[in-house]
């Protein structure tokens, strides 16, 4: 009987480990696609605004494209290492480590959404105060419009990323309902029925 329980416990633990490993691969694939999307947006925006900066005839448009180039330099700087990290996948994580990584990722996207609202608000403020800036009116207007555009994109991106990760994370929470432990009498199996 003990051998049967030990064998069943071993199979269950291997199944849980396999599920966590599969979850981690999906988690990395999601991040890979998200970073590819962010990087593609940034590269396209960088190229378009790079050309438009040199061809713009009015100063406000020039400043708009200038800020877009600066902003998307940062986006590319975030997307490229994020893509490489997700592509490599890292070492296999335990269920607890994966849960911690999942919660951290969701938190980052939520915090980013709050920051994105701040970027949009700063852009609106810059655009509103631009007429009072005398010799810097075009800079305030152009930078303000860029902040509104970039903040709006990032707000949508971060919200979508949170939603995707949060829904995927529900699978990981289901793994918490089954656990194995060793006791003085042998192996303990806990299954939450809620």
DSSP sequence for 111-165: HHHHHHHHHHHHHHHHHHHGGGSGGGHHHHHHHHHHHHHHHHHHHHHHHHHHHHH
Strands (E), the chain: 178-183, 186-191
Confidence of residue 179 (pLDDT cuts 50, 70, 90): low
pLDDT at res. 33: 98
56/60 Cα distance (integer angstroms): 9
Average the pLDDT over 134-150 and give the result: 96
Predicted confidence (pLDDT) at residue 181 exceeds the cutoff of 60:
no
Other C-beta atoms closer than 10 Å to the C-beta of 108 total: 14
CB 151 within 8 A of CB 72: no
Q: What's the pLDDT at 189?
A: 53
pLDDT of residue 178: 54
The span from the CA of 60 to the CA of 191, in Å, is 63
Q: What is the per-residue pLDDT across 164-177, written as a single tens digit (0 to 9) for each?
A: 999 999 887 665 55
The Cα 46–Cα 65 span in angstroms is: 9
Residue 59 pLDDT exceeds 80: yes
Enclosing domain of residue 61:
2-86+93-191
Domain count within the chain: 1
69-102 pLDDT, tens digit each? 999 999 999 999 999 999 998 899 888 899 999 9
* C-alpha separations of 6 from 108, 111, 186 in Å: 41, 45, 8
Please write the tens of the pLDDT for every residue from 102-134. 999 999 999 999 999 999 999 999 999 999 998
First vs last C-alpha separation in the chain: 29
pLDDT digits (tens, 9 = 90+) for 4-42: 444 444 444 444 555 788 899 999 999 999 999 999 999
């Amino acid at each position: 009987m003990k051998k049967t329980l030990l064998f069943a416990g071993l199979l269950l633990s291997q199944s849980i480990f396999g599920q966590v490993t599969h979850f981690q691969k999906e988690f990395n694939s999601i991040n890979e696609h998200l970073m590819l999307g962010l990087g593609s947006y940034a590269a396209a925006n960088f190229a378009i605004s790079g050309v438009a900066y040199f061809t713009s005839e009015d100063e406000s448009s020039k400043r708009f494209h200038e800020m877009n180039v600066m902003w998307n330099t940062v986006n590319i700087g975030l997307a490229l290492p994020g893509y490489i990290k997700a592509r490599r996948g890292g070492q296999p994580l335990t269920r607890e480590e994966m849960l911690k990584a999942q919660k951290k990722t969701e938190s980052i996207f939520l915090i980013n959404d709050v920051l994105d609202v701040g970027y949009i608000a700063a852009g609106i403020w810059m655009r509103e105060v631009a007429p009072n800036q005398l010799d810097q009116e075009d800079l305030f207007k152009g930078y303000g419009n860029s902040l509104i555009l970039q903040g709006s994109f990032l707000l949508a991106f971060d919200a979508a990323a949170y939603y995707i990760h949060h829904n995927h994370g529900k699978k990981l929470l289901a793994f918490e309902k089954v656990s194995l432990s060793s006791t003085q009498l042998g192996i303990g199996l806990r299954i939450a029925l809620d």
